[in-house]
Structure 1
């Protein structure tokens, strides 16, 4: 099979696919679409940027059109969950592009914006609801949406959705959706412990894997520079100033660190913006739009921008700070080299991060090219290190267990820590 016609999609949908400029299906689309059309539960694993949204979106739309039904008031026929606001909005936008000349409606709900408008839109019902878990549960609690009408459940970026920071919300949502449903999980990585957990949500699933979990895109050239933490700011500034026409994403671990770095770059003449959990939804949308339109050429972000955000033209991804969870590295650098393009991923590694760096190399299965600096010994990241490194016996420390919200790098979900809820006992507004 070499084109969409051979996959079993309807003529109306094939016309929409052609209008969107899709010439040939990607490997994940080739394997997943026929299985979804058959009604099978599916776990799809593929590198980021390979078309997972269309892999579940196209056959889902086809099945909804074939049923020829209407959504009930406050109801939805299909529910798609994603971990971040940006990914929800991107999925909804992609699906809408396939729905022209059809009666199907797509509604997206995320935190950070007025809930009243979302309640009004949901009152009429929707065929496809794309949501973050926190805001969705807010709407459920207000009886603004009935999930009992949904016969399809899709989890995008399933490894993060099944992380401990989401598991309680996911269990509740899963219990509200029809048990006689079709469930689809898609992700770029699927750690063993998350894979085992995912099985409880699927009924005799088919596993579709087009690349080893954790493998990075072939067209991404990866480099690492070893240096002290204090030297990173000036080094990054020099790198960015030498590429004034490039479009770059810079990843930090924390919201405050990302904002400080953005201000440093801006004060030095770099057109930079930032995106993290302390930004309103309008500010986050505006920063992404500014990067797309060329008003800025550097976006400093936490891992809220590491998953699913598709910004054409990103030439460089800088890991200013290495992620605590190795899988997040794969998602971060997947923001470049999209749709067949080439890109560079540059990691800045301080001595205390060598443990994290070794975990990344182990996950992706390659030795990252050393561009400068000397490799610090593992003893440089002893048990005193806050992240990664060696344990007290001098042996390499393994991966830290998943923490609540660890994979997101950004407290964007209502299902995060109890401590946060105690701090804001009266805050009903979801930040998801």
Structure 2
């Protein structure tokens, strides 16, 4: 142990080892005079003179690039200035040209430009544009067919009227294909939503037994096409536009629903003094209104005799004293048959109100909303306090009038039997070329074609009186009727002619619309009407229902060519014999398919809206301030 300690003491002490490192020189501080982007390989020290030279050269290089940019900018500015100068020169040239050009030269230039544009259009395009402008101008003048309060308050009815009537269950159970087959069989066209089914017999329409017996006595065994579809629509409370040829039974199609509505209201709660009406039928002429009124009264009496409650009617037409109707007004009444003028007068004098009225029908509706009666109809609508069921019926209702009339209807149903304005196929139409001075003599020959009664139409009141006087001198029992006759004279003429006391009735347009002369075999148009609608109505006084009749029309050089074209196409449509002198008239308005274009205003096939006689007549009346339909209506007051 001692040796070990001694050995350790004898060994020398171990020294620490050190590693020698190279000392890195500290970099010099940056030169404040050095150029910022100078080369890194440059020496650490550059003399002041040399540094200044480098700085000058660097700045010179930068200055060269800026000059190029400045030069480019100056060039661009010079180009823009040149462009502006050129535009100023052109504008100055145009200004000098305008100053030198006269108004006449400008008009000629505009005309040349327009001629170039027009030359590029086809004749059909030009015609379509012109007709569209005329139609747009007509539509712009029309206001919505509604009452003043409804328009002012923005009242719009969207829900249809509710009704208690429903078709029999087995009728409702028929498929749509079966219903369409019935409509096709009778040539019925319908449009609208949720259309009630057609019913081929009156019994299935749930009519009271006394009414069925009444119809049987009248030899009405089955409904006509317009009744077959129109009555279920009306019984269902739906708004409706009904179009069918003359003599097709339209009057029954709108009279029966009103009668049944009145009977239902009376059974629910009897009418007391001052109450009523529940429905109105408006007609364009006094004679048509009286005829409708008498038909309603006759059916009401049958119901009363059969044990049903009494329902009363009121007749409001010009020329009669309302004192005669005092008892009806005092007891309360259910139905009103009226002409627009007298009805408006009674409402304004508060003889009765329309607070309970829920049914409105316009017979010959295209005339009602035509130029003469439109404002009267709008004023009458202002007296309604609630929604009403509205029905419009006519034999002639152009598409334009249909579209306008629908502004007063709620979810309407259109029922159309044949083309609107077409003539009945039961009428044999004969057209004779007769010189003006030979008409009277030839008239006596025409009267020999058939047995009386016969109606002779002329559109001139003086000519009506002349024809009657001539016939009386020749021993023919004749009466005359026109708008200038007193109401007593008009009623006497109608009654004596219907009763058979008189063989011939000479009439103006006042007797052409709606009047039912069931036994008429012959109608003579002494003067061809200017409007083809009037011709359709006039010949429709014969061939009513399932009967046949003859219509003879005199024409000559005084008849306008467009009227002759209308007549030509109407004869062709009804598959009638067309005289050679009518066939020789060429139509300048034939379409590309060779078919007539027709008029969108009145529905005539031989002219367009550009030369529509109905439109011209309406414009003439507007300029002259003539209202209420003149002689053709005769129902203003």
Measured against the shorter chain, the TM-score band is: 0.7 to 0.9
Matched, 1:195 2:396: no
Determine the structure 1 residue equivalent to 2:153.
none
Deviation of the 1:120 alpha carbon: 5.3
Determine the structure 1 residue equivalent to 2:283.
82
Q: Deviations over 1:58-101 (max 9, x none)?
A: 12222332232344606311111000111111111111222121
Determine the structure 1 residue equivalent to 2:185.
none
Deviation of the 1:274 alpha carbon: 0.5
Determine the structure 1 residue equivalent to 2:103.
none
Structure 1 residues 204 and 113, CA, compared in 2 at 3 Å: closer, same or farther? Answer: same
Deviation of the 1:359 alpha carbon: 1.9
Matched, 1:369 2:577: yes
Bigger drift between 7-16 and 51-60 goes to: 7-16
Local SS of the residue matching 1:400: helix
Q: Which of 360, 374, 394 lines up with 1:167 in the alignment?
A: 374
Q: In 2, distance between residues paired with 1:245 and 1:19?
A: 25
Q: In 1, distance between residues paired with 2:263 and 2:337?
A: 18
Q: Is the 8 A contact 2:285 2:634 kept in 1?
A: yes
Q: In 2, distance between residues paired with 1:151 and 1:340?
A: 34
Relative contact order (C-alpha < 8 Å, sep 6+): which is higher? Answer: 1
Q: In 1, distance between residues paired with 2:495 and 2:261?
A: 33
Determine the structure 2 residue equivalent to 1:182.
389
| Number of residue pairs matched by the alignment | 402
Q: In 2, distance between residues paired with 1:249 and 1:266?
A: 15
Local SS of the residue matching 2:220: coil
Deviation of the 1:314 alpha carbon: 0.9
Q: In 1, distance between residues paired with 2:568 and 2:504?
A: 26
Q: Which of 69, 72, 76 lines up with 2:269 in the alignment?
A: 69
Determine the structure 2 residue equivalent to 1:347.
553
Based on CA coordinates, which of the two structures has the bigger radius of gyration? Answer: 2
Deviation of the 1:371 alpha carbon: 6.4
The correspondence of residues 328-407 of structure 1 with structure 2, limited to 5 A, is 328-353=534-559, 354-363=561-570, 365-366=573-574, 368-369=576-577, 397-401=611-615, 403=618
TM-score normalised according to structure 2 size: 0.59
Q: Is the 8 A contact 2:262 2:335 kept in 1?
A: no
Q: Deviations over 1:270-294 (max 9, x none)?
A: 2111011111222112112222222
Determine the structure 2 residue equivalent to 1:410.
632
Q: In 2, distance between residues paired with 1:32 and 1:396?
A: 35
Determine the structure 1 residue equivalent to 2:470.
264
Misfit runs of 4+, over 6 Å: 371-376, 405-408
Structure 1 residues 397 and 406, CA, compared in 2 at 3 Å: closer, same or farther? Answer: farther
Matched, 1:91 2:292: yes
Unaligned runs of 5+ in 2: 1-198, 588-603, 622-626
Q: Is the 8 A contact 1:225 1:370 kept in 2?
A: no
Determine the structure 2 residue equivalent to 1:36.
234
Matched, 1:212 2:413: no
Q: Which of 286, 296, 313 lines up with 1:106 in the alignment?
A: 313
Deviation of the 1:15 alpha carbon: 4.5
Q: Deviations over 1:291-321 (max 9, x none)?
A: 2222221111011100111112111111111
Q: Deviations over 1:348-374 (max 9, x none)?
A: 012121431222333563475356978
Q: In 2, distance between residues paired with 1:119 and 1:360?
A: 48
TM-score normalised according to structure 1 size: 0.85
Deviation of the 1:175 alpha carbon: 1.7
Deviation of the 1:209 alpha carbon: 0.9
Q: Is the 8 A contact 1:325 1:406 kept in 2?
A: no
Unaligned runs of 5+ in 1: 380-387, 415-429
Q: Is the 8 A contact 2:244 2:420 kept in 1?
A: yes
Q: Is the 8 A contact 1:217 1:334 kept in 2?
A: yes
Q: Is the 8 A contact 2:568 2:583 kept in 1?
A: no
Bigger drift between 30-39 and 18-27 goes to: 18-27
Q: Which has the higher helix share?
A: 2
Determine the structure 1 residue equivalent to 2:357.
150
